[in-house]
Amino acid sequence: MAVRGERVAAAQGCLQCHTVTGAPHIGPTWLGLYGRKEPLEGGGAVLADEAYLTESMMDPLAKVVAGYAPVMPGYHGRLSAEDSGALVEFIKSLRPLRPGVTAAEEPVYVPTGR
């Protein structure tokens, strides 16, 4: 299922904004994301579990991770239930090589206005 999720991520353009290596980019890295508490714009935090990951694919503006611009398009009606489930499984499979080491702290995305 995770292999299918990786193919879906590539086909849907997810990897243009999200990395799987911990490197900073436009969206949060997926490395070590599953099970991590993510701070939210406006305060609070959310646990990156299956429900949150699925919600973020379908309605990315519902809970925006602090420090990131709300630029992700929604995939409601664009992803089948099977494909969204496969993406969640792919994200769950991306664990840091050394236990206890979290993904890189990422910078704030600031549009250049071009």
Q: Tell me the percentage of the chain whose pLDDT exceeds 90.
A: 80
Whether 32 has a pLDDT exceeding 90, the answer reads yes
Q: What is the mean pLDDT of the chain?
A: 88
How many C-alpha atoms does 38 have within 13 Å on its Cβ side?
25
Q: Tell me the percentage of the chain whose pLDDT exceeds 70.
A: 85
Q: What is the tens place of the pLDDT at every residue in 47-99? A: 999 999 999 999 999 999 999 999 999 999 999 999 999 999 999 999 887 65
User: 32 near 96, Cβ under 8 Å?
Assistant: yes
Q: Quick one: pLDDT band at residue 24, thresholds 50, 70, 90?
A: confident
> Which of 50, 58, 59 is CA-nearest to residue 90?
50
pLDDT of 112: 56
pLDDT of 111: 54
DSSP code of residue 48: -
Architecture of domain 2-93: Orthogonal Bundle (1.10)
Domain positions in the chain: 2-93
How far is CA 93 from its chain centroid?
A: 13
Neighbours of 94 (CB within 10 A): 21
pLDDT of 23: 87
Whether 113 has a pLDDT exceeding 90, the answer reads no
pLDDT of 97: 72
Q: Which two tokens stand for residue 50?
A: 């299956």
